[in-house]
Amino acid sequence: MTRDRSLETSVLLQDILVVLVAMLVSRVAHGALVGIVPTLKPPVAAGEYAHLLLVFLPTWIFAADRLGIHRLQTITGEKLEIIRRVILTQAWGVASIGLILTFAQVSLNRSLILVFLAVSTAMLLLLKAAQALWLARRRGQARVLLVGDASTEMAGEFERLRGRHVERWTGQGPEALDARFRAGGVDEVVLVGRLSPERLLAYVGICAEAGVPVMLPVPLEPQSLPLPPPDVETVGSSDYVVYQPRKLEAGVLAAKAVVDRVLAALLIILFSPIMLLVAIAVRIGVGSPVLFVQRRGGLYGHPFPMLKFRTMRAGAEQERAGLEARNEMDGPVFKMRDDPRVTPLGRILRRASLDELPQLFNVLAGQMSIVGPRPLPVDETAALTGRHRRRLSIRPGLTCLWQVSGRSDLTFAEWMALDLEYVDRWTLWLDLAILLRTIPAIVTRRGAR
């Protein structure tokens, strides 16, 4: 499910980090062990092994993903099962090390590999115990909406076995369900009870438009519904058909998260002199505070504080109501040329996109991605309806198809169509293509306001 998939990605990232730390710890431990047992082969220079990470780490991640050591059911299930899967993952990793060293014709230091195997396995098992406690707390933050006449037993199973916060929805009709989505905070929907094919199809359609997974109990009565191929998931003693627009593998999402954070860290270091100069200029030319912090709708519509260099005069937020009549963008968003609230310095910063640089810290914190639909203020996020809400099913970003295709020169419908195209077609290669198009888009300032 959506939030579970996000948690599994976080777990896999934690696993990768522990393996990397275990490499450093193993090298130090092996050096100390060589001092105690002189017959052991001394370690070679770290530089001779560093390039092998480019092959070993993807192999280890592949094994971890296939054996599912990051799956929530595995971590919260039987302890012997998670131990078995961790050991199998480690065995695959050690086998890959042996093959890599053999083909690379690098001297094989068996004692160092054994120390790494012992240290990394112990650290991973300790991490799994900590993750089980962490997941029990984090899963409780997800909300499942029970639509229909759900039994107390069913509600209890979702609370106890899936760790969900259960809300019994008593509204009627697709429009009411869409309104509930716009209110925010829904991660899953379960349709129970006897619903007509027309009503069932309408509910599933609303969920699909919003990018919210919907579950139906199995077996269903024979019905002819033009729905996409479903998955089946077991909760307690019941089976559920799960419909969701697209399911992304945790390994691919983990790769995107790693690239986001590494790239954000490098860009922060690279642009730190520019950000310092911009901060000083804003402090002198616009005033204090230097940063403008605005709550925007993030992944699944959950709000987060987005950072920007301040480009407007003091009290600009309170002046917006008086400018609504001059809004040049259709739909629930506000855009206008020559906004009188923007200062002369702020106009320069906006046209060069320098005001967006502090959002690199949002990327580093995991609230945003480098590439993804631009986040809207929480009130505009809540006003999105229908399929436009599906853009919230992927983490917002610094740049996107809209940014490189004309930005404010496009209509709201064109903007949303580009965002949904990104959500439905997303791959790491698409992210790379957008990044390569972002630089000329910034240089030409097309659509910047």
Q: What is the pLDDT along the chain (449 residues), one digit of tens a residue?
A: 456 777 888 898 999 999 889 888 888 887 787 777 776 766 666 565 666 666 677 888 888 888 888 887 788 777 778 888 888 888 887 777 777 666 666 565 677 778 888 898 999 999 998 988 887 777 656 788 998 887 888 888 888 777 778 889 888 888 899 899 888 878 889 998 777 888 888 999 888 888 888 888 866 554 455 556 677 777 777 778 777 666 677 778 888 888 899 999 999 999 999 999 999 999 988 888 999 999 999 988 889 999 999 988 887 777 777 777 777 777 788 877 778 888 889 889 988 889 999 999 999 999 999 999 999 999 889 888 888 888 888 899 999 888 887 666 788 888 888 888 888 888 888 888 888 888 776 766 554 55
Could you tell me if 342 and 350 are in contact, meaning their C-beta atoms sit under 8 angstroms apart? yes
CB 369 within 8 A of CB 393: no
Distance from C-alpha of 216 to C-alpha of 197, rounded to nearest angstrom = 13
In this prediction, residue 250 carries a pLDDT of 74
Tokens of 78: 């039987």
Cα–chain-centroid distance for residue 272? 25
CA distances from 390 to 182, 303, 335 (A): 12, 16, 22
- Which amino acid, one-letter code, is at 72? L
Please name the residue that has the structure tokens 């991973």.
Answer: 124
* Longest CA–CA separation in the chain, Å: 82
| Strands of the sheet with 231-235, listed across from one edge | 165-169, 143-147, 188-191, 214-218, 238-243, 231-235
Which residue do the tokens 């060069």 mark? 352
User: Looking at residue 434, what is its pLDDT?
Assistant: 87
Q: Which residues of 199-225 are buried (b: 16+ CB within 10 A; e: fewer)?
A: ebbbbbbbbbbbbbbbbbbeeeeeeee
pLDDT at 1: 45
Q: Which residues contact 73 (CB under 8 A, 6 or more apart)?
A: none
Q: Return the pLDDT at 101.
A: 64
Integer Cα distance of 77 and 87 in angstroms: 16
- For the chain, how far is it from start to end, CA to CA, in angstroms? 38
Distance of alpha carbon 446 from its chain centroid, rounded? 28
The encoded tokens of residue 422 equal: 């990104």
Strands 303-309 and 369-371: unpaired
pLDDT of residue 156: 84
3: region left, alpha or beta (phi > 0 left; psi from -120 to 50 alpha)? alpha
pTM above 0.75, yes or no: no
Look up tokens 């160092």; give the residue. 112
* Preceding omega of 373 cis (within 30 degrees of 0): no
Q: How many helices (H) and strands (E) does the chain have?
A: 17, 10
The closest alpha carbon to 297, from 362, 358, 381, belongs to 381
The pLDDT value recorded for residue 251 is 76
The CA angle 101-103-104, to the nearest 5 degrees, is 60
**Which of 152, 145, 198 lies closest to 171 in space, CA to CA?**
145
DSSP-derived letter for residue 41 is: P
